[in-house]
Amino acid sequence: MICVICGSHFQPLPTWTRLIVYKLETSTCTRCMSKFEKADQVIDFTDFIGTPYEGAVDKVLVMYTYNEAMNDYFHQYKFLQDVALAQVFAEVLHETFEAKEGIVVPIPMHPEKLLLRTFAQVDELLNYARTPFQHVLEKTESSEQGKKSKKERLDAKSLFKVSGNVEAKTYILFDDIYTTGATIHHAAKVLKDAGATRIEAVTLIKG
């Protein structure tokens, strides 16, 4: 096989799990994957206490830190539009969502941003991971959230609106990066206000 990151030929290591349980074929060599660092799982929600978003999110799983290797990957995938790189984390994402119970909802892009980027990077990560998902949210704010402080993000009007049917079930939000957590909390509050009973979140990167 050819690594989608470095282009080198590699042979996936055989494991008992691969023989017994269905697993996606890896697209990335072990040398490239070893450069990504697993994240600390502790997420502090203290800043949301006393805000309208307190209690909106029940649990967050962040998978990797934003180190140099991830920065290079993220830039190539998201900004240089190398959609093939969505394969890199397909296996680990597939296993992560297989172990969870709930309706997976990707954080949507604003239509204007989608035209600019040409593809929805969060959706493609899930597509390559063969993880079913539902679009029940619509992005209503097109401004760059990364340029705002956490307080500005929390004080802003809701970033999302419900665009599909929300049931009294668990929903699992998925986004590519968790920075201040404001985006996840905005989305979670909208879903809970619409009737969701529990909101978890999974993000690929902790910024």
Domains of the chain, first to last: 37-206 (3.40.50)
**13 vs 29: CA distance, rounded Å:** 10
More confident residue, 61 or 155: 61
Cα of 139 vs its chain's centroid, Å = 15
pLDDT(17) > 60: no
Closest CA to 172 of 77, 107, 109, 127: 107
Which has the minimum average pLDDT: 15-29, 102-116, 163-177, 190-204? 15-29
For the entire predicted model, the pTM comes to 0.89
**196 vs 105: CA distance, rounded Å:** 12
Look at residue 42 in the predicted model and tell me its pLDDT.
80
> Angle at the Cα of 21 (from 16 to 24), degrees rounded to 5?
100
* Averaged pLDDT score across all residues of the chain: 89
Look at residue 153 in the predicted model and tell me its pLDDT.
64
Share of the chain above pLDDT 90, in %: 71
User: What are the residues whose beta carbons fall under 8 Å from the beta carbon of 202, sequence distance 6 or more?
Assistant: 60, 61, 62, 63, 96, 97, 100, 172, 173, 174
Which has the minimum average pLDDT: 33-42, 58-67, 154-163? 154-163
- pLDDT tens-place string over residues 88-131: 999 999 999 999 999 999 999 998 888 888 899 999 999 999 99
Tokens matching residue 108: 């949507």
**145 vs 113: CA distance, rounded Å:** 12
